[in-house]
Structure 1
């Protein structure tokens, strides 16, 4: 597939292969034809070490990376300036950008949900399995940023545990542990012999991750190059039985924070990758074949999209806060509504239980504040019930849905 990249090849050692024998487990679960297809030798990938890789970047590639880096820094500064104008909203605004990144990363894996369903899942309302799965990705992103000071094997395991611990259908005993079996991508129900890509044998995972961590800890590489190559190598290693894509994109956020490229929040890079998922996956394939140029270009491209769309998202959310403040004018300054307002940025759907747990309000005080905000047109009660009521900020949800729609429109262009 052509990616439109004019840069010459940026060489990196390609994967090699080693031979193993495969015999389907529980053959009675598959057709005889499938058992025959999946019985015999197969080739598993062997990742080349990257800890000592010395890239030779063409001038055009360097300019591309420098431009994307500058835009990410400008986005981060813009977010900091916007948030500084309203310091109580700093935490919530950062949280919603992180949640946006988690939702886009999940969508790459065909896990889609709306802003409303995601917010409902965060307060244990609603029953959408995809929304609950995305909440796990939010927790993985949170772990990635909280552990960014030390990108290590331990922090990678912690990200995976946060992601998968409560995922429906996933054994919780495997969360935060490297896989102990062969995995593959593509065709092959009973075995890897017809797969598109067979990841390294599980015995090679710890050593490959140690090499990856050594690469991340280097201080002599352009950060976006380091992020792109580390991410591609992680996806090639495929160290977990499930959740590798989402953990790998959480790792990218951790490296960006670790290197100090961004400081205020998560960067919605996955939204940029989501604009053309086929190009992203093709770039990972090119990396395995020995060409790092494509994944570096895709990461730079995604960073520019993230900077532009992320800045607009920050502006639109700040405008919603200003509009809501105007509607609350006249309410005394110590009223609970003013404490609730900034929290709506990160949690635009609320119930009294959430406010009791997160803001320490009494239940009656929380209910009175929610009713007062409804009366002022800030919130809308969405259940129509007298008990178990839930309120939403329709303006903030609209901004988040429009952001998602914008990314979809860009992908269709």
Structure 2
């Protein structure tokens, strides 16, 4: 049986112990009265985080609107990506993480109307680029079915801890890059499915959201593991992300979040990653301009203005004084 190359460090062992303790506490949290709403919140965060890693700009509030059947103004492709992700995560319980056939079904749902060969392995070569620089050339297309078969066989038969197996699978899947598009989304989903075999709470843990917040470190961990021909570095990175996510979510409270008539649920749960970044910039400099925000975040001026408008509508910021000489006041 093929065994992917990885090593288990002392840090890995400590993280497994810490995560195991936090999982039980998080499970208790998910049994409280507001658990149903919290699951919806975390599902939205999961979808927003996973898609944002791939460049989707829709905020949590916009995803909430789509989930609730409302119309939004946004690029058609990005709306389709969200709709597909919602359908895919709604099918979470129908997927067997040990089934290659289910992997293909999930890809078909996730990439519907987005790629030509949805639900099928790629037929050509593919590389991963950082700008114009090639950072990873995936294995030849004719090897993909065999590599995936070997990976799933290891996943089914290995006696390693599920936390480790989920991380190794995630890394190996991204290395193989079996699809022409959607590899990141499916890889992160599949890690969640594997973790779900360890404990059901992982279905509602938005690890993707925190990975997006540490996106460069995520890619660095993948690249360093590739250079070392050993996924141990990536294992430690992902376990740390899982630990931090569990630790952060222990005290989630919905009742402390401010509700407004403009936002269907609560302001606190509808603040996207980019909106959070805008708030941080405003806290550091309350006279910063939309153009300066766009430059610092690497987004368009229009997108920057849309984020500011969204925060204003949610009652989280307000403009004091004129556009030229005034400043931003953070309300919540």
TM-score scaled by length of structure 1? 0.60
Which digits, 9 at most, give the CA deviation of each residue in 1:16-66, with x for residues without a partner? xxxxxxxxxxxxxxxxxxxxxxxxxxxxxxxxxx84358542323211232
Count of residue pairs the alignment pairs up: 278
Q: Which residue of 2 aligns with 1:180?
A: 123
**Alpha-carbon separation, structure 2, partners of 1:404 and 1:76:** 29
Maintained 8 Å contact 1:184/1:196: yes
Is 1:68 the equivalent of 2:15? no
TM-score scaled by length of structure 2? 0.73
Which digits, 9 at most, give the CA deviation of each residue in 1:315-370, with x for residues without a partner? 22x556xx9xxxxxxxxxxxxxxxxxxxxxxxxxxxxxxxxxxxxxxxxxxxxxxx
Q: Which residue of 2 aligns with 1:126?
A: 72
Q: Which residue of 2 aligns with 1:110?
A: 55
Q: Which residue of 2 aligns with 1:96?
A: 41
State the 1:96 CA deviation: 3.0
Q: Which residue of 1 aligns with 2:240?
A: 301
State the 1:404 CA deviation: 6.8
**Unaligned 5+ residue runs, structure 2?**
281-295, 297-332
Which digits, 9 at most, give the CA deviation of each residue in 1:163-221, with x for residues without a partner? 11133xx33xx1111111111112798xxxx7322111111111111111112223511
Q: Which residue of 2 aligns with 1:197?
A: 136
When residues 52 and 409 of structure 1 are mapped into structure 2, their CA distance, relative to the original with a 3 A threshold, is: farther
When residues 261 and 406 of structure 1 are mapped into structure 2, their CA distance, relative to the original with a 3 A threshold, is: farther
Q: Which residue of 2 aligns with 1:284?
A: 222
Larger radius of gyration: 1
State the 1:306 CA deviation: 1.6
Q: Secondary structure at the match of 1:186?
A: strand
**Alpha-carbon separation, structure 2, partners of 1:299 and 1:207:** 26
Maintained 8 Å contact 1:148/1:255: no
State the 1:408 CA deviation: 8.2
When residues 136 and 60 of structure 1 are mapped into structure 2, their CA distance, relative to the original with a 3 A threshold, is: same
**Alpha-carbon separation, structure 1, partners of 2:213 and 2:195:** 21
Is 1:78 the equivalent of 2:23? no
When residues 94 and 207 of structure 1 are mapped into structure 2, their CA distance, relative to the original with a 3 A threshold, is: same
Is 1:164 the equivalent of 2:107? no
When residues 138 and 408 of structure 1 are mapped into structure 2, their CA distance, relative to the original with a 3 A threshold, is: farther
Q: Which residue of 2 aligns with 1:135?
A: 83
**Alpha-carbon separation, structure 1, partners of 2:202 and 2:171:** 25
Maintained 8 Å contact 2:128/2:134: yes
When residues 263 and 119 of structure 1 are mapped into structure 2, their CA distance, relative to the original with a 3 A threshold, is: closer
**Unaligned 5+ residue runs, structure 1?**
1-49, 324-377, 383-391
